[in-house]
């Protein structure tokens, strides 16, 4: 039973994922359609805007990770930067949806490249510290799962609420679908959601407290940045985590970028489809509700087995849903698509939740090997890969839509060419199925669980207390299997050594 103090810390920690969840929902679902049908960029330009912005986001993440690990302030290393990022988050988010009347495609294209890079930088300043925060406030394997679960509740609720706000502020119910006539609506959207996403950061900043660092860090140099990241990537378990995460990001990017456009072109945004709601709204929220609901069985699986077990259950659900999508035509009843979206929601529940719960434990493996706590470096390298993959995926999607002749004059079935439908199904159906198969294979070889994590924490504690850890032969082999290096080379295996030699 959690005390009020513990529950308060969990709620304060989770509050900031209103940003991660809500922004992820609105940007990934709606932003490409906004650039195509409201700003009137070509598919190639729209894909390049988001692609360049996310690649830039990924490039800045590793440097931010190292900066976080070397930051000292009365707010701690992570919360200081979250506080700094509150105003830039609001300003950049507003600018994403408002282009100040800039005329012409070229001018708007250049403007949105700049704005998306500004937005990506603001996200980096906030989210890298946030991803680094949990292992600095909680050390237990199972307790971290509890904190992550509360965080995902905030994320899920933010997804649903932000979609309600979008539907309310951007009521796309005309026969022509989404058009430039909705520019004022998107301006208001930027203001409302900008406040919604930036203010919860203050709750986390003032609601939790970071544990002090055990050691001072050397001054920041490019050589040390390179060394930190190469050392992190030598860990076998990190490489497994990294590549599984890249695959999950590609699946999520393909699904989210395709979903709204698919509904617009296949059925149109049917007004008052059910209980006054439009079809697009129902599709997104049905998927979101199923995603939130499936957090519960995922948490149960994590606590009963291990944190990566949900992959083996959820990923096949994604494959089933995407297979259903491949058979949908304009004459297929919309209810069939809604069923597929519900199944898809249950499946994608693991894509963000599982990597988020696995990441804090990798810092302990890093400390086992090198005697260093580098939560920021772990987060920076992880997000670098994910954002590069996400950006390249969206760019590729834009090029595919351009090649197959998407008409961006209006988002409606009348503008749906066979080539555009083929391109969207390629991204929405074929690609996720293929990648999910790879993820299932990789996840079966992920071997860090509660028992092995407990052994790692004990060996680290013994090292600090006695100057040398007393590992049994069985424990040594376990550590070698997880890290991919000989135990004798690890920091915990050497008396009075601060760093191992690899």
Span 168-187, mean pLDDT? 78
CA dist., res. 462 & res. 98, Å (int) = 56
Q: Is 500 a residue whose pLDDT tops 50?
A: no
Q: Are residues 290 and 313 in the same domain?
A: yes
Mean pLDDT value of segment 16-38: 84
The domain tally of the chain equals 2
CA angle 335, 337, 339 (to 5 degrees): 70
Question: Can you give the three-state secondary structure of 190-220, one letter per residue?
Answer: HHHHHHHHHCHHHHHHHHCCCCCCCCCCCCC
Please indicate, yes or no, if residue 371 is contained in any of the structural domains: yes
355 and 473 assigned to the same domain: no
Q: What span, in angstroms and rounded, lies between the C-alpha atoms of 478 and 48?
A: 45
Percent of residues, the chain, with pLDDT higher than 90? 43
Q: What confidence score (pLDDT) does residue 275 get? A: 63
Q: Is residue 346 part of a domain?
A: yes
| 28 inside domain | yes
How far does CA 109 lie from the centroid of its chain?
A: 25
Looking at residue 229, its pLDDT comes to 82
- Beta bridge partners, 277, equal 274
Same domain (yes/no): 435, 483: no
pLDDT tens for 212-251 read 765 566 666 677 778 888 899 999 999 999 999 999 999 9
**66 vs 93, residue with greater confidence:** 93
Average pLDDT score over residue span 336-340: 94
| Dist. CA 125–CA 134, nearest whole Å | 16
> What is the domain extent for residue 282?
4-202+225-448
Segment among 143-157, 337-351, 435-449 with least mean pLDDT: 143-157
Average of pLDDT values for 345-349? 94
Highest mean pLDDT among 32-41, 263-272, 404-413, 437-446: 437-446
- Residue 223 Cα distances to 220, 234, 338, 339, angstroms: 8, 17, 52, 52
Tokens at residue 367, please?
């400390």
Kindly tell me if the per-residue pLDDT of 175 is higher than 60. Answer: no
pLDDT, average across residues 87-96: 96
**Contacts for 171 with CB less than 8 Å, ≥ 6 apart:** 185
Residue that is written with structure tokens 């006539």 in the block = 181
The answer to whether position 387 is within a domain reads yes
Which among 142-156, 201-215, 443-457 has the top mean pLDDT? Answer: 443-457
**Based on the domain organization, do 144 and 245 belong to the same domain?**
yes
- Contact between 370 and 485 (Cβ < 8 Å): no
pLDDT digit string, tens, across residues 290-333 = 988 898 999 999 988 899 999 999 999 999 999 999 999 888 99
Q: Which two tokens stand for residue 475?
A: 């424990």
Q: pLDDT at position 496, please?
A: 57
CATH number of the CATH domain containing 258: 1.20.1250.20
Top pLDDT among 15 and 153 is at: 15
Question: Measured between alpha carbons, how far is 352 from 156 in angstroms, rounded to an integer?
Answer: 11
Q: Higher confidence at residue 257 or residue 174?
A: 257
Q: Say which residue the tokens 């203050």 belong to.
A: 202
Query: What is the C-alpha to C-alpha distance for residues 330 and 266, in angstroms, rounded to an integer?
Result: 5
Three-state DSSP class for residue 2:
coil
Cα–Cα dist 29/393, whole Å: 14
Alpha-carbon distance of 51 to 438, in angstroms, equals 24
137 and 82 share one domain: yes
DSSP character string of 159-184: HHHHHHHHHHHS---STT-S-GGGHH
Please check whether residues 60 and 175 belong to one and the same domain. Answer: yes
């Amino acid at each position: 039973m959690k005390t009020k103090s513990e529950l308060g810390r969990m709620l304060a920690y989770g509050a900031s994922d209103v940003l991660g969840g809500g922004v992820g929902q609105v940007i990934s679902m709606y932003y490409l359609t906004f650039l195509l049908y409201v700003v009137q960029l070509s598919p190639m330009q729209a894909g390049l805007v988001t692609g360049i912005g996310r690649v830039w986001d990924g490039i800045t993440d590793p440097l931010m990770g190292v900066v976080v690990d070397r930051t000292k302030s009365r707010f701690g290393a992570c919360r200081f930067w979250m506080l700094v990022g509150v105003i830039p988050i609001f300003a950049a988010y507003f600018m994403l949806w408002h282009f100040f009347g800039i005329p012409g495609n070229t001018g708007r294209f250049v403007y949105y490249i700049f704005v998306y890079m500004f937005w990506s930088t603001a996200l980096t300043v906030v989210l890298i510290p946030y991803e680094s925060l949990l292992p600095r406030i909680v050390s237990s394997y199972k307790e971290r799962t509890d904190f992550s679960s509360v965080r995902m509740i905030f994320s899920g609720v933010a997804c649903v609420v932000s979609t309600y706000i979008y539907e309310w502020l951007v009521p796309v119910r005309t026969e022509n679908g989404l058009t430039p006539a909705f520019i004022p609506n998107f301006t208001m959207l930027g203001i409302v959601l900008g406040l919604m996403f930036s203010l919860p950061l203050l709750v986390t900043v003032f609601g939790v407290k970071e544990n002090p660092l055990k050691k001072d860090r050397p001054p920041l140099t490019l050589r040390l940045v390179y060394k930190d990241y190469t050392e992190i990537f030598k860990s076998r378990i990190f490489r497994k985590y990294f590549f599984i995460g890249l695959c999950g990001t590609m699946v999520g990017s393909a699904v989210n970028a395709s979903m709204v456009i698919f509904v617009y072109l296949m059925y149109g945004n049917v007004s008052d489809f059910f209980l006054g709601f439009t079809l697009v709204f129902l599709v997104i929220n049905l998927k979101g509700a199923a995603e939130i609901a499936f957090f519960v069985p995922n948490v149960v699986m994590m606590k009963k087995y291990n944190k990566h077990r949900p992959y083996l259950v959820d990923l096949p659900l994604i494959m089933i849903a995407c297979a259903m999508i491949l058979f949908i035509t304009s004459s297929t009843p919309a209810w069939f698509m809604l069923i597929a979206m519900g199944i898809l929601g249950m499946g994608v529940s693991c894509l963000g939740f599982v990597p988020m719960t696995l990441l804090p434990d990798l810092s302990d493996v890093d400390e086992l090997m090198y005697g260093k706590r580098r939560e920021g470096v772990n987060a920076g390298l992880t997000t670098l890969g994910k954002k590069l993959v996400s950006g390249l995926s969206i760019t590729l999607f834009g090029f595919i839509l351009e090649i197959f002749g998407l008409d961006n004059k209006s988002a409606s079935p009348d503008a749906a060419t066979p080539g555009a439908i083929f391109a969207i199904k390629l991204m929405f159906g074929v690609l996720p199925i293929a990648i999910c198969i790879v993820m299932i294979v990789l996840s079966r070889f992920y071997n860090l669980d509660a028992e092995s994590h407990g052994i790692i924490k004990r060996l680290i504690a013994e090292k600090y207390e006695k100057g040398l850890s007393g590992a049994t032969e069985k424990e040594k082999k376990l550590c070698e299997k997880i890290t991919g290096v000989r135990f004798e080379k690890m920091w915990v295996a050497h008396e009075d050594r601060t760093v191992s030699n690899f």
